[in-house]
Structure formats: structure tokens, C-alpha cells
Chain A
Amino acid sequence: MTLAAQDLSLPGRLSGVSMELHRGAVTAICGPNGAGKSSLLRCLAGLMGGRNVLLDGLPLELRSARERACEIGYLPQEGEVAWDLTVETLVSLGRLPWRSGAEADRIAIDAAIATLSLETLRQRRVSQLSGGERARALIARVIAGTSRWLLADEPLANLDLGYQQALLGQLRALAGQGLGVVLVLHDLAQAANFADRVLVLDRGRLVADAPPLEALGEAKIERVWGVRARWLGEPGQRALAVEPTSARAP
């Protein structure tokens, strides 16, 4: 039920990151550009990092690539789809690591399509989807392959406000069903409003690991991002007011 890093270091990218995530919650990874957010996510997905990433207490490296793939779903930032597949075929790619037979595949694909409300778009080609529909289809691809962990790098990039809210709502609902959701998020207000927990990285170090308001305090934002900012509004509906500065602090 846990995905953890123990003293995880990657030369030039991460140094000494230790933390433990639990399923059923939304975790946001925040930090300035180059802080190592994507690297940390890739490590947690088992794509690098070696022995220092543990799934349910065991090093991820000791599992076969296929076993790992059945547990941890990863969505890279680019969200590339090289061929003009239909939504249904795209979602079915999530079943590639499984050897559970056509019937089980069919059930998982149908469930993923239903969860992301893609029923009417099943036969639509990827090239004909809007940005929001495409983002949902890509997440459905991950959900079809695992009900344990969803790791997504900036899934909200390029989405308009309405789609962002809808997608975040769907991810929250998935976490409610026991999925561990880990997102790299750029928008601190979204992280503050939607995440149960926020990890802040600064130059490869983990400088905060706490509930959002604590991890993203105004002093912390100034120290890590180099901007003065104030939180406005109620918890759950917060907005960040940034003071104009002439030059960015180092």
C-alpha cells in the first residue's frame, strides 16, 4: 500500500530524497523549474533510481518490468500518441502488461472508459479529440492497467480552466476509490486546493512534505520560488496573489 523513496539521489538532479506515499490520497509534487520534480516522478515509476525506490517495502528493482507495470501507471508530460488510434484502442494499450485474457481486458477497458466518462468517444480518433478529452483518454489508458498507482507529469498542462477542474475532480474520485494519485503540478493554487499532501522540491532536495497549507506557506514560497505571495480566499478555494517584483531573487 506504500510507495517510498529512501535516501534517493541522482547525480545533478536529486539528492537524499526520502518519503513514503500511501494509496487513496492525492499527492502533488511542486517546485521551481529544474528542481527535480519529473525526475522524482520517473524514479517513483521505476524508470530510474534503482534500489532506493520501494513498493510495499520491497525495492522496485527486484520486480520484473511487467509486474511493476501492473502496479504503477505512469503518464509522461508529452502525452505522445504516435498513431491516430481510436480512444478505445488507446485505452486498451494500458492492458499490455497483463496476461489475464481477453475477457478481463474488456472489463478493465470498459471500466476505465466509464470512469473517465468517455463512453460516447470510444470510436473517436485521437486527432479529433479536444485537449481535455485527450487528457482524459490518456488517464483512462493508465487506469485500464492499474488500480494501484497513477503517476502523472503535469496532466493539466494545456487544459483550460473548466477541463482542469473536471479532471482534478475525477482524479480526486479515483483516489477516493483507493488509487494512489501522484501529480507533478505547476500551479500552486491547484496543489493547495486539491492535494492531500504536497512535496516541495528545491534544487533536488525535498524541502517540504506536509499537508498543502503547511508545505506551501508564504515564507516557503518566497524561499523556494523567490517571489512574495499571499494566499487569498477560503481553504479549498484558495488563490495566490503574487507581488510584482522587478527582478527574480536568485
Chain B
Amino acid sequence: MTRRLNPFLIAALLLAVPFSLLAGRVWIDPFDPGSGNALAILAELRAPRIVLALTIGAGLGAAGAAMQGYLRNPLADPGLFGIAPGAALGAVLSFWSGYAAQPWALPLFALTGAAGAMTLLALVAGRGGSVILFTLTGMMISSLAGALTSLALSLAPNPFAMSEIVTWLMGALTDRSWHEVWIAAPLTLAGIGVLALAGPGLDAMTLGEEAARSLGVRPGRLQALMILGVGLTVGSGVAVAGIVGFVGLMVPHLLRPFTDRRPGALIVPSALGGALLVLVADSLCRLLPLQGELRLGIALSLLGAPFFLALLAGMRGRLA
């Protein structure tokens, strides 16, 4: 089953990309793409947006799969480590300080926030590689970054800044350009590569921390790979698209039954599946006949939360 999963996901992506290119407020005729301003729409609006959707989805999917493997918990989410809230705090500060108007400032601030959260995680959790200490540290960094974000909101210099911050935090891919692609794509790819390196260590973690060590896993190294990999994928995703939740939680969960269930075997399929989910969700956001556009982050939460409620209802029998 595992062997057919990746080709299947790639085929689905190959179908979804052209659909997404053509679909939108302005439908583009595939047999006459030169008419009107269609080429401009394709090259400057849709293409970067699609690449960005693929990038962010892949990063979130891979990070979610790795997180679930590392914490040995199917309900773990990349947001848990405090890296996404850290990146969001950085972005909010760029709005707050007014620097967000500069083209590179917002993502740069967000990446700095993500790096700050990663450094704090590494410093507090230390080199011992204890998972429980690491999780608690991540949760505290999340709370701290969340509180500081609220503080920045409550002290917003003017209502416009506040409204900009709130809208941005909802996560979206509207009006993004190749700028954002050049920031997010290389970092995300590097991050997925780092997470793939963590694969064998995550496989060993299936048997618990001690057994993993007895299999030659060095906990400190595994933790460093996790911080770096999740930091690069999630940090760069938040930097260009705001908070997009549930992808990292849902995708590994949906795909796990189609693999041999080793965490390491789930990372690449989750990257492909995440790319597919965000691409399709973003295309649908564009198509919904609403005043303005449904924000991607909201759409995915609207999709994800009921999905998990259904999942939990199904698990109730086993948990009780």
C-alpha cells in the first residue's frame, strides 16, 4: 500500500494544479489563455499563489507527521512547539511597529520570531532530549507568544493596525507574489529534508525513548533535527501565510492507514497530502460566492474541527 500512496498523491496534485490555475473569480479558458489579461493573472497572481499553497501545505503536512511520531501521539500538531505562535508574534510586531509596509519586513520579522522560539526551546529543553520537558517548554513558549500577541493587539497604535493584525493572523494566500515564494519555498524544502533525516529516529521512538536509545538513537540529535525541521517548515509557512491550522493534524491522520504506520514512512506522503489539501482548500476559498474571500485559515479550521470531533466521537468507545 505504501508504495502506491506517493504516486497516487502526485497524480492527484498533477490534476489539482491545472484546475487551480484556471479556477477563480476570472475563469481562464484553457484553449485560449492569451485572451484579455489572462496571462498576467496566471503569471503574477495564480502561479505564485499555487506554488505558495503547495509549499505551505507540504511543510505543515511533513511537520505534523514528524511531530506525531516524535510525541508518539496522533493528536500532536506542529503548533504545539510554540514555533508558529513565535512566528506570528514576530509578524504582529512588524505590523505594530509599522515596518510591515516594507516588502521584506513582515516575513523577516516572522522568521526572527520563529528562530527566537526555536532557540528558546533548544536552550530550555537542553541537550538531554527528554520529550516531556520539550513538550512542556513548547507549550509555555506558545502561551507566552500568544500573550505577547494579545498585548500587542491591545496596545495597537491605531484601529487600522489592529484590523490588519487580526486579518493577517487568520491566514490567507491572497495577494501573495513571487517574493513570498522565494522566501518560503527554499526554507520549507530544507525543513522537509531535515525532517526526513529524522525519520529513522522517529521510527525507533515508536518503541519508547529508552528502546530508541538502545537502538542507537541519540536523543539530543533527534531533538535538534525536530526543532530545525519544524522551525523551518512552520516558521516560513507562518511568515508568508499567517496561521493555517489543522493541516498538520489532519493530513498525517488521514494518510497513516495507507502506510505501514512507521512515522518515518509518513513524512513524505504527508508533505504531498498537505500540499494537496491546502491547494484544494485555497482554490475553493477563491470560488465560494462570498462578499470578499473566505480566509484560508478559517476555511481549514471550519473543515478540521468537525473532522476531529467526528474522529473523537469514533474514539469514544475505545477511550472510555
The chain A residues found within 8 Å of chain B, CB to CB, are 42, 45-47, 64-70, 72-76, 78, 80-86, 89, 93-94, 96-97, 141, 145
Contacts and interface: CB of A to CB of B under 8 A. Distances in A.
A85 B262 contact: yes
Contact of A78 (B205, B208, B214, B261): B208
A45 B211 CA distance: 10
Interface of B: 72, 200, 203-208, 210-211, 213-218, 256, 260-263
Nearest to B210: A76
B263 A42 contact: no
26 contacts: A42-B210, A45-B214, A47-B214, A67-B216, A69-B214, A70-B216, A74-B210, A74-B214, A76-B208, A78-B208, A80-B211, A81-B207, A82-B72, A82-B207, A82-B208, A83-B262, A83-B263, A84-B261, A85-B206, A85-B260, A86-B260, A89-B260, A89-B261, A93-B203, A94-B215, A96-B217
Nearest to A94: B215
B216 A80 contact: no
A45 B263 CA distance: 25
A141 B210 contact: no
B18 to A, nearest CB: 36
Sorted nearest first, the 8 A-B pairs with minimum C-beta distance are: A69-B216, A74-B214, A82-B72, A97-B216, A66-B216, A80-B208, A65-B216, A83-B261
A84 B260 CA distance: 9
Given A47-B210, A76-B208, 16 more contacts: A42-B210, A45-B214, A69-B214, A73-B214, A74-B211, A76-B207, A76-B211, A81-B206, A82-B206, A84-B261, A85-B206, A86-B260, A89-B260, A89-B262, A93-B203, A93-B206
B213 A96 contact: no
Contacts of A93: 203-204, 206-207, 215, 262
Contacts of A94: 215
B299 to A, nearest CB: 30
A42 B217 CA distance: 15
A80 to B, nearest CB: 4
A66 B203 CA distance: 15
Residue from the set A72, A94, A96 with the largest chain B CB neighbour count within 10 Å: A96
B205 to A, nearest CB: 7
Contacts of A68: 216
Given A65-B216, A83-B262, A84-B261, A75 B203 contact: no
